[in-house]
A = this chain, B = another copy of it.
């Protein structure tokens, strides 16, 4: 929509050669101050945009080299936005701007989105996934330093940062055990479609849950483990099923905070009080949910903010990416509120 000018236009209007314009654009020293100023004036007037604007060539600001963040759908879903905050605030503290592109899931736009950032001179790229999973990145990603956040490559080709799911599951169960609960239900996140690899969140948290029970000499009871497809209806129904057991649970550990919402509704319909009759513990510490429920939800923090922060810090402090294949695990702390 804006008319695009060429180097030729600028050369003509400034009365210089294309080479001179090019030298000015490349900050070449062999240009007189007068000519340089004249060319920059034309460039500003025409609003010609090379990689960097005339204005910034004058001030020699390097902020605008920028930093890229690519997401599958992190910026179009409410769930993991804290990862964006963590990266953004860390970069701001370094005086750097962050460009974000949402690439979706392996559509025709995924590769184009990666390219769009690579074309625009970024110092490094973070690829952030909405949920903890294995990812496959297009080959051109090898051209620039990349860190994966909340995901990992099967061949560990890129450094990555992920949540310590097992530590989170362990911590959840331990908190309930410490409060004296022995009948602890776990509404875990449902398994993915047949043929897909298991979700690290589901397997990791169950492993940690079992470890805590064993430490407290509480027998693991398969009857208390349920899997949700994450619809409110299922979360409501599973809670009812659990409370109808001959020996119902005194505490319910929910695979995420949204599951806890259905659980709250079901317990309310049974006129059971939280935490007096049944304790409820969530996972994620999802903003606008965990702290807005009543009673406020005790939960495990998914360290989204910390993962975004770590990814930026690692990228900016690491010189050689050719031999790196580190996978950093971030702890999942307990956030105590009033539901346990």
Do B78 and A112 touch across chains, with their CB atoms under 8 A apart? no
Within 28-62 of A, Cβ neighbours of B (below 8 Å) are at: 47, 49-53, 55-56, 61
B residues near A116, Cβ cutoff 8 Å? 63-64, 66, 97, 99
In the complex, how many angstroms separate the beta carbon of A338 from the nearest chain B beta carbon? Answer: 10
Bound-complex Cα distance A104 to B319 (A) = 30
Q: Which of A247-280 contact B (CB under 8 A)?
A: 258, 261-262, 264-266, 268-269, 271
The docked-state distance in angstroms from the alpha carbon of A113 to that of B97 is 6
How many of chain A's residues have a CB under 8 angstroms from any CB in B? Answer: 78
For the complex formed, measure the closest distance between the CB of A109 and the CB atoms of chain B, giving whole angstroms. Answer: 5
Q: Is the beta-carbon distance between B51 and A50 smaller than 8 angstroms?
A: yes
For chain A, residues 3 to 50, give those with C-beta under 8 angstroms from any C-beta of chain B: 6-7, 18-19, 22, 26, 47, 49-50
Interface residues of A (CB under 8 A from B): 1-2, 6-7, 18-19, 22, 26, 47, 49-53, 55-56, 61, 63-64, 66, 75-79, 81-82, 84-85, 88, 92, 97-102, 104, 107, 109, 112-113, 115-121, 123-124, 143-145, 232, 235-236, 258, 261-262, 264-266, 268-269, 271, 286-289, 291-296, 319, 321
Top 5 nearest A-B pairs by Cβ distance? A265-B294, A78-B78, A100-B100, A268-B268, A97-B116
